[in-house]
Amino acid sequence: MRALIVTADDFGLHERINEAVARAYREGVLTCASLMVGAPAAYDAVERARDMPDLRVGLHITLTDGPSTSPPWQIPSLVDTGGHFEGSMFANAVRFLNRNVRRQLAREIQAQFEAFAATGLELDHVNTHKHFHLHPTVLSLILEIGQKFGMRAMRLPREKRGSLLLAPWVAFVKTRLDRAGIAYNDWVAGISSTGCMDEAALLALLADAPAGVFEIYSHPAVEGDDAITSAMQDYRHSDELAGLCSARVARAIKASGSMHGGFSDAFGHRAQRSVG
């Protein structure tokens, strides 16, 4: 590896996640967190991030399975009356091709960038909930709007042994990022093992780490009585937190000799293409 980025997604979704992010950063190997600016515990997440100035924080754009940042009346084709995004991912992917829906998408993406900017945190990277930037319309809007807010890096959802069905879409994203001069990781881990990135999984990934810039992301949270969301019923949040705080994982990262930080560290705060 040239560089390793260890990220926690869904920062701000719940205080249990926020507490795990703080613990994994202070006691473990976590270097990055992706913030859901419209989520219920976003304010708590921002306050915690301000107390951890070396934690690299990015924007986790949410356009499905979560709350919006814009009021419902501004984006009625996207959300229900409570401001939650409606429809399955497949249905949304089709609807997003509609011109009127595209205008509302642009408004919501702009609102999320504005909300992140209002926190005063430095924008380390951008990614999307459920990797929705694989959708051409979503990616185009993020590239158009994001660079106005200093976006310099995005997650490329390319796993070493990823789905062949996703490969053409990942290649499309890579090409568009290259054209836009946006930096990106060469490889990512966390898609096929969502919710079970425990110590064993992390050690296996580090032992077989690919060349270039490698991002590992997970969804840590402290123990609780109920699932954080219905989609997270089977997530082993506390095992993922334990993995991030594992001394064995820390030693494996140190032994790799790679740079260990955020996107802004890996790319020197410049919008450049990754290598590897």
Q: What is the pLDDT of residues 80-94, one digit of tens each?
A: 999 999 777 677 778
pLDDT at 276: 29
pLDDT at 6: 98
The torsion angle over the Cα atoms of residues 261, 265, 271 and 275, rounded to 10 degrees, is -70
The CATH classification number of 3-266 equals 3.20.20.370
How far, in Å, CA of 237 to CA of 46, rounded? 21
Residues 218-242: what's their mean pLDDT? 94
pLDDT at 137: 92
Give pLDDT tens digits for 257-268. Answer: 999 999 999 998
pLDDT at 275: 29
Q: Which residue has the tokens 């429809």?
A: 87
**Helical segments of the chain, H only:** 15-27, 42-50, 89-95, 99-119, 136-146, 167-180, 199-207, 237-244, 247-256, 263-266
pLDDT at 90: 75
How is the chain split into domains, by residue range?
3-266
* pLDDT > 90? residue 45: yes
Residues 6+ apart with CB under 8 A from 255: none
